[in-house]
C-alpha cells in the first residue's frame, strides 16, 4: 500500500547523529563543520544538529556549504537555537530578541537544508510555573505567525523538554505546546526527563509511560516522527547538572529499553546524541543497540 513503510524501511528511517562535533573529529585534523558530513556518513550516521548555542553568527555561504554537503551524504540537519532564549519573559525588548534569534536560526537552517529548530521554552525563576507557561504559549503562537510571514512556514519549531525543575519544559508542557500549531513538533530529551525527575527513568516501563503520554497527546505524525536528544546525565536536587558520556560509570538513563520500545512501536524519530565530547561515537553505539534489538 502506498505510504506504508516496510519493517526494513522503518529501521532505516530512524536517524542517529551528534549534536556538534566530537573531540575526535578535531583530533583527526578536521576544522570546519561542513567537513563533518563525509565523516559521519563513513561512520554510518545520518543526522547532525548544529548548535547556535551562544549566538547566530554563521555566514550564509557557510550555511549553503553545509547544506550541499549534508545533501550529498544524506545527513538530516537540525539546529539548536541559542540556549538563552526565554519565551516566558514579559519584557517586550527581550521577547523581540527571542523572536529574532529563532527567525535567524531558521533562516540559516533552511540554507542548510534542514527543518527542525530546537529551542528551550524558558524558565519560571522570576514568575510562577503557570504564568511562565501562559507567556510561552502566547509567544509561540506569535512566533508561528511571524515564521509564516517571513517565508518560514515549512519549518518545524521544536520546543525541548528541559532538565531543571525551575524551567518550563516538562513532558506535559511540551506535549501541550504542540497543540498550538501543526508547525510545532516535540523535542524529547530523555536525559533531561531523567534529571528533572531525579532519576525517573530506570526501566522499560518508564519509557513506555513517556511514549504512551506522547501517543495520547500528540498528533500521529508528531508522535511517529518526534525529535529527540539523548545522553547520560548527572543531576542534583535542582535537576540537570551536566551531560555525561556512555563511558562514565553510574549515570543513566539506559538507551537499550528505549530502543526496544521504539522498534516495537514502529516509530521513526531522529536521535541526536549530546554526550560530552563523544557525541558521534555514542550516537553510533545507540544506532547499534537499536539495530540489534
The reply to whether 96 falls in a domain is: yes
What residues in the chain have per-residue pLDDT under 50?
1-11
Q: If you search the block for the grid coordinates 532519576, which residue do you land on?
A: 199
Give residue 125's pLDDT: 78
Give residue 167's pLDDT: 94
The reply to whether 37 falls in a domain is: yes
Q: What pTM was estimated for this model as a whole? A: 0.94
Q: In this structure, what CATH number is given to the domain that contains residue 37?
A: 3.20.20.150
Give residue 126's pLDDT: 75
Give residue 124's pLDDT: 85
The reply to whether 141 falls in a domain is: yes
The reply to whether 1 falls in a domain is: no
| CA-to-CA separations, 160 to 43, 172, 184, in angstroms, rounded | 27, 11, 11
Q: What torsion do the CA atoms of 249, 252, 256, 259 make, to the nearest 10 degrees? A: -140
The reply to whether 148 falls in a domain is: yes
The reply to whether 55 falls in a domain is: yes
**What are the beta bridge partners of residue 160?**
187
| CA-to-CA separations, 137 to 28, 65, 88, 106, in angstroms, rounded | 44, 35, 9, 19
In angstroms, rounded to a whole number, what is the distance separating the alpha carbons of residues 16 and 286? 8
Length of the chain: 293
Tally the domains of the chain.
1
Evaluate whether 244 touches 233 at the Cβ level (below 8 Å).
yes
The reply to whether 79 falls in a domain is: yes
- Which domain, by its residues, includes 166? 7-292
The reply to whether 2 falls in a domain is: no
Amino acid at each position: 500500500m502506498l505510504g506504508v513503510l516496510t519493517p526494513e524501511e522503518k529501521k532505516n528511517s530512524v536517524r542517529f547523529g551528534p549534536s556538534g562535533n566530537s573531540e575526535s573529529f578535531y583530533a583527526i585534523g578536521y576544522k570546519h563543520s561542513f567537513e563533518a558530513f563525509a565523516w559521519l556518513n563513513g561512520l554510518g550516521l545520518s543526522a547532525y544538529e548544529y548548535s547556535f548555542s551562544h549566538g547566530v553568527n554563521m555566514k550564509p555561504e557557510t550555511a549553503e556549504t553545509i547544506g550541499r554537503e549534508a545533501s550529498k551524504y544524506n545527513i538530516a540537519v537540525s539546529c539548536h537555537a541559542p540556549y538563552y532564549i526565554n519565551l516566558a519573559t514579559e519584557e517586550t525588548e527581550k521577547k523581540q530578541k527571542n523572536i529574532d534569534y529563532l527567525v535567524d536560526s531558521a533562516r540559516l537552517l533552511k540554507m542548510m537544508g534542514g527543518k527542525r529548530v530546537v529551542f528551550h521554552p524558558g524558565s519560571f525563576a522570576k514568575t510562577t510555573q503557570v504564568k511562565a507557561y501562559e507567556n510561552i504559549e502566547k509567544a509561540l503562537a506569535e512566533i508561528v505567525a511571524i515564521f509564516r510571514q517571513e517565508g518560514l512556514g515549512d519549518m518545524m519549531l521544536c520546543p525541548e523538554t528541559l532538565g531543571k525543575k525551575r524551567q518550563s519544559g516538562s513532558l506535559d508542557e511540551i506535549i501541550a505546546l504542540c497543540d498550538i500549531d501543526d508547525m510545532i513538533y516535540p523535542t524529547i530529551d530523555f536525559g533531561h526527563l531523567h534529571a528533572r525527575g531525579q532519576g525517573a527513568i530506570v526501566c522499560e516501563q518508564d519509557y513506555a509511560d513517556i511514549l504512551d503520554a506522547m501517543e495520547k497527546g500528540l498528533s500521529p505524525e508528531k508522535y511517529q516522527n518526534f525529535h529527540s536528544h539523548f545522553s547520560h546525565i548527572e543531576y542534583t536536587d535542582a535537576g540537570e547538572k551536566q551531560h555525561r558520556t556512555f563511558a562514565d560509570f553510574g549515570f543513566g538513563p539506559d538507551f537499550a529499553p528505549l530502543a526496544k520500545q521504539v522498534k516495537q512501536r514502529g516509530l521513526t524519530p531522529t536521535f541526536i546524541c549530546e554526550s560530552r565530547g563523544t557525541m558521534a561515537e555514542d550516537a553510533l553505539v545507540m544506532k547499534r543497540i537499536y539495530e540489534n534489538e
